Structure 1
Amino acid sequence: MNTLLRILPWGMIKLLSIVTLITLIVLNFYGLYTNKFYFFKFDNYIFPILSIAHFVYLYVIWFKVRENEYPDPQMRNLEYLLYVILFIYVFQIFDTLYILSSYTDYDASIIPKTFIPMGSLIVTLYSLLIFMTLVSFKHRKVLVGEYKFMDVNDNIDSWQ
């Protein structure tokens, strides 16, 4: 695992995560079947809202590394929230794969030519995001430190 952390340093993981999140936010509004963007569907705004927690987590790690601070309960809770959001990323992968598997259900003239390439891109980006999130958890453990549940009260006021 240490070799992986040397190959993918924290700065690269942070930058790739931000670019991947922004790309997925844009592609979240894209309709695979129609090759159009839909901005008035409520479902399309769920991922951008949840990605705010991911952006905040990346910022918190960056801040803790830059200021040489210890982890605190707020950071731990944010990371636990990101564990839940990881399940949503996995759901998005399976949802996109389900849509891609419906390719043979429709006439080839109805499905746009971008259906398979864009669907594959979305699945790849979600998979990459999950991988980078897990690597960022490891970077947090190495660069910021482990969560000490017995010493929770020692760092309780670190954001004040």
Structure 2
Amino acid sequence: MTAPRNFPQSQRALSWKTCYFLSLGILPVLIVLNFYGLYSNRFYFLKIDNYIFPIFSLLHFVFLYVMRFKIREGEYPDPVMRNVEYGMYAVLMIYLFKCFDTLYILMSYNNYQAYIIPETFLPVGFLTLGLQVFLVVLTLLSFWYRKALVGVYDFEQIDENMNSWQ
């Protein structure tokens, strides 16, 4: 599906399909990088904190699936989609927190120059930060595409179509 004509030129360059596939590509990379310790150059799979991002990113995969299904089938938004999107707002806050956390770690580089810091600290750190910021942008853009391509949440219409047995 192409972008409607009233989309600004910048959003036409990044279509819904491009946004969808970039999100599907970036999420697994960030899940793997989430287990990576910048200071130690090791992966930590036994830290419980490292599993928060992958668990909440599952909701992002569900949101992308629901969006793709609604756009492909030409359906209107429903309460399930609305609830998933509302959950995505909380996930977006987690994404923003991870951006600020990575930025804080990168800014602490000068504090630990006297210690042995791996050579991969800055390259992997900037890659992670760039992907996290790009994921936030793609998430916001997917919210915008939901409104433009699937439709707004018309609660009166949702209530009328709630009875699926008719």
TM-score by length of 1: 0.93
Provide the rounded CA distance (Å) in 2 between the counterparts of 1:155 and 1:137. 23
Give, as a single letter, the amino acid of the residue that structure 2 aligns with 1:119. G
Q: Which has the higher contact order (CA 8 A, sep 6+)?
A: 1
Q: Deviations over 1:81-136 (max 9, x none)?
A: 11111111111111111111211222455100111111111111111001011111
1:5 aligned counterpart, secondary structure: helix
Q: CA deviation at 1:150?
A: 2.4
Task: Choose from 13, 19, 32 the match for 2:19.
Answer: 13
Q: Which 5+ residue runs of structure 2 have no aligned equivalent?
A: 1-6
Question: 1:103 and 2:109 equivalent?
Answer: yes
- Give me the CA root mean square deviation: 1.4
Hey, what does 2:3 align to over in structure 1? Answer: none
How many residues align structurally? 158
Task: For 1:39-78, list aligned pairs within 5 A.
Answer: 39-78=45-84
Percent identity over paired residues: 56
Quick check: 1:31 aligned with 2:37? yes
Structure 1, unpaired ranges of 5+ = none
Task: Pick from 123, 140, 158 the counterpart of residue 134 of structure 1.
Answer: 140
Q: Which runs of 4+ in 1 moved over 4 A?
A: none
- SS in structure 2 opposite 1:70? coil
Deviation at residue 152 of structure 1 after TM alignment? 2.5
Q: What letter is aligned with 1:53?
A: L
- Higher mean displacement: 4-13 or 28-37: 4-13
Matches within 5 A, 1:78-89: 78-89=84-95
Give 2:97's match in structure 1, choosing from 87, 91, 94. 91
